[in-house]
Structure 1
Amino acid sequence: MPTLIRLYVHYVDLVNRKIGRVAMYLLFVMGGIQIYSTFSRLITGMPVNWALEMTQFLLATYFLVGAAYSMQEGAHVRMDLFYGALKPKRQAFVDVFTIIFVIFYLAVMVRGGWSSTEYAITYNQKNYSAWSPPMWPVKSLMTLGIILMLLQAISNLFKDIATAIGKPLT
């Protein structure tokens, strides 16, 4: 494989690994917010109106920003009726074919996410709730997560092509 492709794969994998590791800690942040909300309601009798919504935003960020790391680690669900019985080279051929559909889907998702984020920024979109937070931060993070997953899918495509032709990038 050309040096440029090797560098692309190396740096995309590195960035997604680091971001994915950081995203894991969002679970603790979500737990802390929920504990704070519970104690606030039980001790002071005053519920925190932003806690549930903030946890939902963090959960969406956790899933979408961490998705590229999951893809890199092969942790996504795979339909394994025949795939597991194939040799690694054949699996790579199947992966090359299927990842093209994933890349197309993610490209469409990036387009939609970008449009939605642009709308949220332009019109200062707010969520319809008592807290009424601005939507652009969560939409931006979700779009970033989809972009990272698209970059990782392309990286996986390069790795699968290299494996299919008998020259793995590892």
Structure 2
Amino acid sequence: MNAALGFARFVDRINRWIGLVVMYGVFILMGILLWSTISKTFFVPSLWTLEMAQFAMVAYYMLGGPYSILVGSNVRMDLFYGTWSLRRKATIDVITVLFLLFYLGVLLYGALGSTAYSLGYWGSAPVEFFIGLITGEESIGRMERSSTAWRPYIWPVKTIMIVGLCLMLLQALSELIKDLARAIGRDIPDAKL
């Protein structure tokens, strides 16, 4: 259990650091939208602003999600939960985090397939495609681009989604470990701010 709790602390430290850095991404988003407003009012409207704002929001949301789980700011029905003991909450959380892990696993598999498609792979085995890219047996094909006038490549934002989903999976595993420890009676300091 000590090794598992060490892993949980390591994941918590990573997601706390990334979350605190990504938190300032809202200023990047505000800057893009401010430039969009200024360019539409005084200059020629920029083609890239709306799509870049969407990409920035995806990065903000996906990379900030694990931090949200860490500090407990995710939405929860508190009708009964708020009155339960810490041990009972941990027992219920062990069950519910298993559903979260399954959901995030399905999302990650879908994101891998979508990212493989954006890199020019049209097969049905995205994991094997990425393994083949690493080993040199596969190559990148015709990359997907947005259908807008700006036409950016799509793979960077899809890669950010994969990284965010992996971090969320790790954070969900960390929460599972901490909840298991609490359920069996171990005293785990609460990381929630």
TM-score bin, normalised by smaller chain: over 0.9
C-alpha distance after superposition, 1:125-146 (max 9, x if no partner): 1111011110000000011111
* Alpha-carbon distance, 1:31 to partner: 0.6
TM value normalised by structure 2: 0.84
Q: Which amino acid aligns with 1:67?
A: G
* Alpha-carbon distance, 1:7 to partner: 2.1
> Larger % of helix: which?
1
Q: What secondary structure is seen at the aligned counterpart in 2 of 1:124?
A: coil
TM value normalised by structure 1: 0.95
* Alpha-carbon distance, 1:168 to partner: 2.9
More displaced, 4-13 or 138-147? 4-13
Counterpart residue number, 1:166: 185
* Alpha-carbon distance, 1:81 to partner: 1.6
Indicate conservation of the 8 Å contact 2:5/2:178, yes or no: no
Counterpart residue number, 1:153: 172
Indicate conservation of the 8 Å contact 1:6/1:169, yes or no: no
Instruction: Indicate the percent of aligned positions where both proteins have the same amino acid.
Output: 43
- After superposing on structure 2, the runs of 4+ consecutive aligned residues of structure 1 that deviate more than 6 Å are none
Pairing partner for 1:81 from 68, 79, 82: 79
Q: What secondary structure is seen at the aligned counterpart in 2 of 1:166?
A: coil
CA distance in 1 between partners of 2:172 and 2:113 (Å): 21
CA distance in 1 between partners of 2:187 and 2:98 (Å): 19
Counterpart residue number, 1:12: 11
Pairing partner for 2:160 from 141, 145, 153: 141
CA distance in 2 between partners of 1:142 and 1:156 (Å): 21
Counterpart residue number, 2:105: 107
* Alpha-carbon distance, 1:153 to partner: 0.3
Is there any run of 5+ residues in structure 2 with no aligned partner, and where?
121-141
CA distance in 2 between partners of 1:168 and 1:106 (Å): 28
Indicate conservation of the 8 Å contact 2:11/2:174, yes or no: yes
C-alpha distance after superposition, 1:12-66 (max 9, x if no partner): 101111111111111100111111121122222x000110110011101111110
Counterpart residue number, 1:23: 22
CA distance in 2 between partners of 1:105 and 1:35 (Å): 36
Q: Which amino acid aligns with 2:87?
A: K
Counterpart residue number, 2:66: 68
Does 2:125 match 1:126? no
Question: Number of matched residues?
Answer: 168
Compute the RMSD of aligned alpha carbons.
Answer: 1.0
CA distance in 2 between partners of 1:147 and 1:168 (Å): 27
